[in-house]
Amino acid sequence: MKRFTRLHKIIAGALGLGAGPLVWHFAFRKDDGSPGFANKQIVYSRSVSSSWDFDWDKRDPKSLVPPPRGSEQEENKYNEALVKHKPRVTRNLFLIRHGEYNVNGKTDEDRGLTEKGRQQAHLTGKRLKEVGYPFDKIYRSTMTRANETSNIIEQFYPNIPVEDCSMLREGMPIPPDPPSGSGNWKPEVYYYTEGPRIEAAFRKYFHRAYPNEEKDTYDLIVCHANVIRYFICRALQLPPEAWLRLSLPHGSITWIVIRPNGRVSLRCFGDTGYMPPEALSV
């Protein structure tokens, strides 16, 4: 029995499911629903804390600085270290879903943007330029549809650095609850390979600002619906298996803000209000 208990912990750790206020429990059951190990079918359950975890990104100054040992001198050093590790500015992440693409393509290269998808990307780039935020960098998925979307947006920001990131590729982050209603959609085999990658991407991009940063930062991340939906659930400390309950239109803008104290707020989700009706698709 201990062998299976350790396996559950390894799986949970690999998926990052132990991070934050969520505690996941894994169990096996037989085909008839009774406990057992007949077919290695995994059952997921969770418990969720109602209080906000301020150290969700493991960057709360109090978690980075060893506590004082009692003397006044140690107390002073502790307070100075807290100030040194304390962020002062806000991170702004703009998550862009790629435009409409050829869903009938057999390879990633064949699944490029449609004419409507290119129109959506252009309208999104134009909108971002109009709002006037000083974007610092563009991160983009290495999949064709995301790259093509980013290329169009980049025309509005010719001087901004661009970085390709394979961790942002589309995938299945975690088994959704409720499950997908599609009988043909059976991605269970992908959860244990794609889930850790998408969780790693979350930890790479979602964190409070660095202490040495002196002004608010604005980054664009061009990627995919499943990735963005999972990111939002994790960032807001909502049950991550709720990601499939959210819907994102093609080319939409999602804006999330991470405060210096670790608070996170969603400024907009899946915004396409700047697009004419004929340009919309999901």
Q: What is the CATH number of the domain that holds 252?
A: 3.40.50.1240
Q: Are residues 37 and 63 in the same domain?
A: no
Domain housing 38: 2-48
Q: Are residues 30 and 76 in the same domain?
A: no
Cβ partners under 8 Å of residue 115, min gap 6: none
Strand pairing class (91-97; 41-48) = unpaired
Q: Are residues 40 and 62 in the same domain?
A: no
Token pair of 29 as six digits:
């059951």
Number of domains composing the chain: 3
Cβ partners under 8 Å of residue 53, min gap 6: 20, 21, 237
Q: Are residues 274 and 136 in the same domain?
A: yes
Q: Are residues 189 and 118 in the same domain?
A: yes
Q: What pLDDT, on the 0 to 100 scale, is given for residue 204?
A: 97
Q: Are residues 73 and 186 in the same domain?
A: no
Q: Are residues 156 and 232 in the same domain?
A: yes
Q: Which residue among 68, 86, 104 closes a domain?
A: 86
Q: Are residues 13 and 41 in the same domain?
A: yes
Radius of gyration of the chain (CA): 21
Q: What pLDDT, on the 0 to 100 scale, is given for residue 183?
A: 58
Q: Are residues 196 and 269 in the same domain?
A: yes
Q: Are residues 6 and 138 in the same domain?
A: no
Give the residue carrying structure tokens 């990601």.
243
Q: Are residues 170 and 220 in the same domain?
A: yes
Query: pLDDT tens string for the chain (282 positions)?
Result: 334 344 444 344 444 444 444 444 434 344 454 444 344 444 444 445 579 999 999 999 998 888 888 788 888 888 888 999 999 999 999 999 999 999 999 999 999 999 999 999 999 999 999 999 999 999 999 999 999 999 999 999 999 999 999 999 999 999 999 987 765 556 666 788 899 999 999 999 999 999 999 999 999 999 999 999 999 999 999 999 999 999 999 999 999 999 999 999 999 999 999 999 999 999
Q: What pLDDT, on the 0 to 100 scale, is given for residue 186?
A: 60
Strand pairing class (162-165; 137-141) = parallel
Q: Are residues 6 and 78 in the same domain?
A: no
DSSP states of the chain: -HHHHHHHHHHHHHHTTTSTTEEEEEEEE-TTSSBS-SS-EEEEEEEE-SS--TTTTS--HHHHSPPP-SSHHHHHHHHHHHHHH---S-EEEEEEE---B-TT-SSTTT--B-HHHHHHHHHHHHHHHHHT----EEEEESSHHHHHHHHHHHTT-TTS-EEEEGGGS----S--SSPPS-TT---HHHHHHHHHHHHHHHHHH-SPPPTT--S-EEEEEEE-HHHHHHHHHHHTT--GGGGGG----TT-EEEEEE-TTS-EEEEEEEE-TTS-GGG---
